[in-house]
Amino acid sequence: MQRQKRRRRSSKASLAVADKISRLPDDVLHYILSLVSTKEAVATSILSKRWNNLWLSLPNIDFNNIKIDSIESNSKFIDSVYSVLVSPDTAIGGSHFINRFCLDVQFRNGNPLYGYDNPHLLYKRSCHNVVKWVNLVVQRRLKYLRLNLRLGYDLHLDVDDYDNSYLPKLPITIFTCRTLVSLDLHHFSVKGVCYRFLLKALSTSNSLRLDTFKLYRSIYQPQPPYDDIPIFQNLIYLELCNRWRLVVQVLHHCPKLQNLKLYTVWVICEFVPQCLLSHLRTCTLRFSLIRPSKRMIAKYILKNANFLQCMTISSECEKSILSQFPKASATCQLLVNANI
């Protein structure tokens, strides 16, 4: 009896709080909804009539941390995305712009008690829809795009590999989207001539993260196509991951780069990239500096980055080592963050 009373009191208190929130201005409610995923924002429509259509005008479409382990969950996910994207009342279906579109989905084995659905098959069924979704969002002046579809291990999304039925073909609209300023593609590879279109499209971005990004060349092509890398005039933030071999070439093509995060090392060249000399403000090194060859990279950056404000590393031991190196910037600080 007492438990039921407590439940009723708790329910009334929750309704009272929800009622107070409902009286807030639309701008405030939109801001609150912008802090949660699209799935959670849609769920608020059951609170009251006041909340019914609030999520429809949100400029950000985020499907984050989606776990798919069965045909049923896969179908629900696909239906959910389409219900948001094609509704005539949403920013997508209407005339409003879309600021951000994010897909972060993991396909995995389901509960063994109910039998497994092949995650590769689930992945294949979803991937062909990605093209349609991206085509929809880029029509609404999209600025930020993040795509991360994975099978629980590294599986590359490929633009040009038509023979592999598991890999989705990203639409050409990504390459021609003039409003795109930030592109975050995880486990992404480009084969053949298509990389030229991708790099040209990325040249207008101001934020870029390359994770497991690969360039392939034909056996008939004697040299890697470095000359085809465009100038990234607007790029101020860059992450390079997983043994990216074109680090120096990329840096030479990013004259205004201010923030650099490296997961890999590169061969030091004779000519210093312009961004190091004139613009670089922060640098984060995500690799160990135990080996002398890797320390040389840090030393090279400290020596040439005239306006560097801070270099972030992972241990006090590394800080002690780097503190002995000369710095071009008198105001540069060495910061330790074990969680970088």
80 touches 121 (CB < 8 A): no
> pLDDT class for 17, splitting at 50, 70, 90?
low
> pLDDT class for 276, splitting at 50, 70, 90?
very high
Share of the chain above pLDDT 90, in %: 16
Residue 171 predicted with pLDDT over 80: no
Q: Where are the alpha helices (DSSP H) in the chain?
A: 2-22, 26-34, 38-43, 71-85, 119-137, 173-176, 194-202, 247-252, 274-278, 292-304, 316-322
Residue 311 predicted with pLDDT over 80: yes
| pLDDT, tens digit, 9 for 90 and up, residues 118-164 | 555 566 666 778 888 888 888 888 989 888 877 654 444 444 443 44
Supply the pLDDT for residue 329: 96
> pLDDT class for 301, splitting at 50, 70, 90?
very high
Better-predicted residue by pLDDT, 80 or 17: 80
pTM for this structure?
Answer: 0.62
Long-range contacts of residues 253-259, Cβ cutoff 8 Å, at least 24 apart: 253/229, 255/231, 255/279, 257/232, 258/282, 259/283
Residue 339 predicted with pLDDT over 90: no
Residue 316 predicted with pLDDT over 80: yes
206 touches 229 (CB < 8 A): no
10 Å CB burial of residue 312 (0-12, 13-18, 19+) is middle
| pLDDT, tens digit, 9 for 90 and up, residues 280-296 | 999 999 888 888 888 88
The number of residues making up the chain comes to: 340
Better-predicted residue by pLDDT, 127 or 276: 276
In the chain the domains, ranked by start, together with CATH numbers, are 23-308 (3.80.10.10)
Q: Considering just the CA atoms, what is the radius of gyration of the chain in Å?
A: 24
Q: What is the pLDDT averaged over residues 250-279? A: 86
Better-predicted residue by pLDDT, 228 or 143: 143
**What is the spatial distance between Cα 174 and Cα 134, in angstroms, rounded to a whole number?**
8
